[in-house]
Amino acid sequence: MKLSISNLAKIKQADIDIDGITVVAGENNTGKSTIGKVLFSTFNSLYNITDKIYTQRLKEIDSSNKEILQNHIKVDQSYHYVIKYILYVGNCINRYISNADNQKNMDSKDKIITDLRKEIEKNDENVPDYFNDYETTVEEIANNIIRVMNVSEDVLMKEIISRYFSDVFNGQINSLSIVDGNELAEVLLKINDKQNRILFGNNVCGMISREINIQHKAIYIDNPFIIDGLSKNQNPDIINKSLKDLLVRENENILDDVIGSVIAKEKLNTIEELLDKVVDGDISNNSRTGELYLQNKEYKEPIALSNLSTGVKSFAVLKMLLEKGSLYEKDVLILDEPEIHLHPQWQIEYAELLVLLQKQFNLSVIVTTHSPYFVDAINLFSCKYETDNAVNYYMSVVDYDGIKMEKVTDNIDKIYKKMASPIEVLDTLRYELNNN
């Protein structure tokens, strides 16, 4: 898989190979996070896009049809019958639209009217008596269905992509550079011999060319404190909402995803020991308060996850994703500077965990970092577990015409040298102090 970005936010140009683990290193404010956010937005906006569009059509039809029904139903009757028949007719309409055979004839008004009447009246022939002008009501509903179903899929797809990227980038999608501010931003995702191409102008999606059906989700982790808000009714941004939904997901049916869960648990056997070094115990939910707790034999009572150290929370997020069965084979896992809240020793253990996760689940992992410990740990553990041929290293570079990504897989010493510069500053200061 390859991700190419041009003139988007802070990025002038980036061509990123994503094959196993991709490490993007560099100084603060050099566009590292943009890489992960673009990949997250590209995958999740297009993930099950056909179903998303269909769902939005149904929602719009249902909402606007309820308004039509309310305008035409007779008001000189009990509230009970008003509600009953609005709901009844609404359900009949939804049933009709959901029928795959009916969807083939959504441009024929006469057929829609005929079929709708049959659907509505087959169980209650008295329905027409409850509306002022039943014929007009059904005709308006048919017109509404045609209006919504005739909205171009391409237009809807552009709107979904625009909203997704806009939410992630706070409306600032196109280049922030004065020089390139008027140029189109481009995102190109290549998988094997196919590609999806997205163009943005004036911070909205102006073109989408799609050859790939995105079948896997992207998970973006940049904030271990999300655990603190899992039991609270908060409105997080789209990145953290996506993660929160995965951390608290509950299967409605006891048999939902039973096979995926079994497979995940089998894979977990190889990494449970590593996880338990840091997060030893079971994470459970208090049904009364909604608060999450860690039960450990060393504690006299369960400890609230919000009371754990930030470092433990970082590991707990991964543990919960695994235990919830929210991480699937070939998913995309994006981690933005995971080392920030971790002691150097835990950075090493976290890196080992990522290498094992990538290997066991065949994930595509994107990691941004400015820690030499973390880079070195990824490098060494990928050698230990024989996955080093699937690790790529990039360094963000501030050039005269913008931020670019330099591939340094064959020479990761460039990363170490860049990250060592603060140490050299301190060594110089130490020398000056000792010689004065």
Does 415 fall in a domain?
yes
Residues 98 and 5 in one domain: no
Does 67 fall in a domain?
yes
Burial of 393 (0-12, 13-18, 19+ CB in 10 A): buried
Q: Which domain holds residue 125?
A: 52-149
Q: pLDDT tens-digit profile of 122-163?
A: 888 888 998 999 999 999 999 999 999 889 999 999 999 999
Where is pLDDT greater, at 197 or 304?
A: 197
Residues 415 and 340 in one domain: yes
Whose tokens are 């890196």? That residue is: 351
Residues 29 and 170 in one domain: yes
412 phi and psi angles, rounded to 5 deg? -70, -5
To the nearest whole percent, how much of the chain has pLDDT over 90?
A: 40
Residues 68 and 207 in one domain: no
Q: pLDDT tens-digit profile of 207-250?
A: 999 999 998 889 999 888 888 767 665 667 788 888 888 887 65
Read off the pLDDT band of 252 (50, 70, 90). very low
Residues 6+ apart with CB under 8 A from 65: 90, 93, 141, 144, 145
> How many other CB atoms sit within 10 Å of the CB of residue 286?
12
Residue 424: which CATH number? 3.40.50.300
Does 236 fall in a domain?
no
Does 237 fall in a domain?
no
Q: pLDDT tens-digit profile of 62-118?
A: 999 999 999 999 888 888 888 888 898 888 888 888 877 777 767 788 888 998 999
Q: What pLDDT score does 344 carry? A: 86
Residues 133 and 191 in one domain: no
What's the mean per-residue pLDDT of the chain? 85
Number of structural domains, the chain? 3
Residues 62 and 192 in one domain: no
Does 232 fall in a domain?
no
Does 11 fall in a domain?
yes
Does 380 fall in a domain?
yes
Is 70 exceeded by the pLDDT of residue 367? yes
| Domain boundary residue, one of 115, 149, 183 | 149
Q: What pLDDT score does 253 carry? A: 46
Read off the pLDDT band of 251 (50, 70, 90). very low
Q: pLDDT tens-digit profile of 381-414?
A: 999 999 999 999 999 988 777 889 999 999 999 8
Residues 38 and 170 in one domain: yes
Residues forming a β-bridge with 23? 367, 393
| Domain boundary residue, one of 276, 307, 326 | 326
| Domain boundary residue, one of 268, 294, 326 | 326
Residues 398 and 255 in one domain: no
Residues 345 and 206 in one domain: yes
d(CA 199, CA 303) in angstroms, rounded, equals 48
Residues 127 and 206 in one domain: no
In three-state secondary structure terms, 433 is: helix
Residues 118 and 254 in one domain: no
The enclosing H or E element of 210 equals strand 204-210
Residues 348 and 201 in one domain: yes
Does 2 fall in a domain?
yes
